[in-house]
């Protein structure tokens, strides 16, 4: 066995990256629309604050790259240690991790949230049935198909579609040729994006448009697993070199739309930003220096493991915080009102997801370990 591969698979810095990705999504959902009219008029300050408030899409893309990396790494390690990939066990692990909270959110939305607002299940859009089949993202491609707050599950639906086909590709393709899976999927996804350069909804929500992000995460895992020189590249980077790459990536996120024509923005820039997220994953996992490692923050490390629940449930906490507190705080000062309601919603999100993880999700996670051939922490 390769001595560089640990007995237990755990990338401690990635928990912090998960939390940062969640925070980007939360900030957009809680603050962006109310604060947008208050943004500074200065070009530079406007760009900085606008990028900060509307970075949720980057958070989702980062989640995709992370998922592709971790799932592929575990599949490769299972193949190395057992000589095969146990596909039924893989599906069972994904089911036990994703389905309980996913369907809890969908059922809450349809049978509690909407009846509270005077709408019955039968009155909802016909697209509601797609939510039961992990096709939420495809529902968004139909006018009126987004059903709040369950609509947040669109990205989880894409990941489930990815999980459905990804191990089958490794089963169908001889393992010695498996490295060609990644560029093939990336090329096909990129070709799909090029075919829809001006259709924002398709570029943002469609399965084929998003498989690029997941595949580049998979390619990163394959290179990290197979190529010592690839890992060494990140191990040997100096602090200055690392900070330079981080700075270039952040500048690209902030100013990229100003550099490229609008119709190519989601096609070209997303290729570059996903490469940046792949760099962050490798840097966090393999850089020899602990400077700028997310595991250095006990807060990020602790709360990063709760981010699936925090991502799925935060639209509910934002809504109820607005209902319960929005009318009583700074009613005539939209900025202060939004800020305080958002802080309250963030606190509720942490609290609810802590209990959800320990008292609802954990029993399923313990059962999930019975179907695992690889020990994880």
Could you read off the pLDDT of 214-249 as tens digits, one per residue?
A: 999 999 999 999 999 999 999 999 999 999 999 999
| pLDDT reported for residue 48 | 79
Q: How confident is the model at residue 329 (pLDDT cuts 50, 70, 90)?
A: low
Give me the pLDDT at residue 3, please.
40
pLDDT in tens, 136-154: 999 999 999 999 999 999 9
Contact 136, 151 (CB under 8 A): yes
pLDDT at 352: 97
Under DSSP, the state recorded for 376 is B
pLDDT on residue 2: 43
pLDDT computed for residue 17 by the predictor: 96
How far, in Å, CA of 122 to CA of 166, rounded?
35
Res 324 pLDDT > 70:
yes
Residues 344/325, Cβ–Cβ less than 8 Å: yes
How many structural domains compose the chain?
Answer: 1
- CA-to-CA distance for 272 and 49, rounded, in angstroms? 21
At 348-377, the pLDDT tens digits run 999 999 999 999 999 999 999 999 877 665
- Within 13 Å of residue 213, how many CA atoms lie on the same side as its CB? 32
pLDDT tops 70 at residue 258: no
Q: If you average pLDDT over residues 110-122, what whole number do you get?
A: 95
Question: Is 7 a domain residue?
Answer: no
The C-alpha atoms of residue 220 and residue 279 are separated, in whole angstroms, by: 9
The arithmetic mean of pLDDT across residues 276-287, rounded, is 96
pLDDT for position 253: 86
Computed over every residue of the chain, the mean pLDDT equals 90
5 lies in some domain: no
- With 60 as the cut, is the pLDDT of residue 1 above it? no
What does R_g of the chain's alpha carbons equal in angstroms?
21
pLDDT digits (tens, 9 = 90+) for 14-60: 999 999 999 999 999 998 777 666 666 677 777 778 778 888 999 99
Measured in degrees and rounded to the nearest 5, phi and psi for residue 55 equal -95, 10
Q: What is the 3-state secondary structure (H, E, C) of 359-375?
A: HHHHHHHHHHHCCCCCC
At residue 255, the pLDDT reads 80
pLDDT digits over 176-221, tens only?
899 999 999 999 999 999 999 888 899 999 999 999 999 999 999 9
**Is a pLDDT exceeding 60 seen at residue 120?**
yes
Residues found in the chain: 377
Among 190, 152, 333, smallest CA distance to 274 is for 190
- pLDDT given at position 8: 57
Distance separating the N- and C-terminal Cα atoms of the chain: 20
pTM of the model: 0.93
What is the residue range of 188's domain? 12-369
Alpha carbons 117 and 346: distance in angstroms, whole number: 23
Q: Are 140 and 200 in contact (CB under 8 A)?
A: no
Residue 4 falls inside a structural domain = no
φ, ψ (nearest 5 deg) of residue 214: -65, -40
């Amino acid at each position: 066995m390769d001595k560089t591969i640990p007995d237990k698979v755990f990338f401690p810095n990635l928990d912090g990256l998960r939390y940062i990705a969640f925070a980007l999504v939360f900030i957009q959902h809680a603050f962006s629309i109310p604060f947008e009219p208050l943004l500074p008029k200065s070009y530079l300050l406007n760009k900085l604050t606008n990028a900060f408030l509307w970075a949720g899409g980057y958070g989702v893309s980062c989640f995709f790259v992370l998922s592709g990396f971790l799932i592929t790494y575990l599949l490769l390690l299972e193949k190395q240690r057992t000589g095969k990939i146990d596909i039924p066990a893989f599906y069972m692990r994904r089911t036990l991790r994703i389905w309980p909270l996913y369907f809890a959110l969908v059922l809450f939305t349809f049978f509690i949230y909407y009846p509270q607002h005077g709408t019955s299940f039968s009155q909802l859009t016909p697209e509601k049935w797609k939510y039961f089949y992990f096709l939420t993202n495809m529902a968004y491609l139909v006018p009126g198909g987004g059903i709040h707050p369950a609509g947040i599950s669109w990205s989880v639906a894409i990941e489930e579609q990815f999980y459905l086909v990804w191990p089958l590709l490794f089963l169908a393709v001889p393992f010695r040729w498996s490295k060609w899976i990644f560029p093939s999927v990336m090329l096909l996804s990129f070709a799909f994006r090029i075919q829809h350069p001006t259709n924002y909804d398709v570029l943002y929500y469609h399965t084929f448009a998003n498989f690029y992000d997941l595949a580049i995460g998979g390619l990163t895992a394959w290179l990290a697993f197979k190529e010592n020189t690839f890992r060494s590249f990140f191990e040997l980077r100096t602090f200055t070199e690392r900070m330079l790459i981080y700075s270039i990536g952040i500048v690209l996120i902030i100013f990229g739309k100003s550099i490229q024509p609008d119709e190519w923005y989601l096609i070209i820039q997303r290729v570059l930003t996903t490469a940046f997220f792949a760099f962050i994953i490798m840097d966090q996992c393999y850089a020899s220096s602990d400077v700028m490692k997310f595991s250095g923050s006990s807060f990020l490390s602790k709360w990063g493991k709760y981010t699936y629940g925090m991502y799925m449930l935060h639209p509910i906490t934002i809504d109820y915080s607005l209902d319960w507190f929005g009318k009583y705080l700074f009613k005539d000062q939209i900025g202060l009102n939004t800020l305080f309601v958002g802080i309250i919603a963030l606190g509720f999100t942490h609290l609810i997801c802590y209990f959800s993880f320990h008292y609802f999700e954990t029993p399923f996670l313990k059962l999930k370990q019975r179907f695992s051939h690889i020990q994880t922490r």
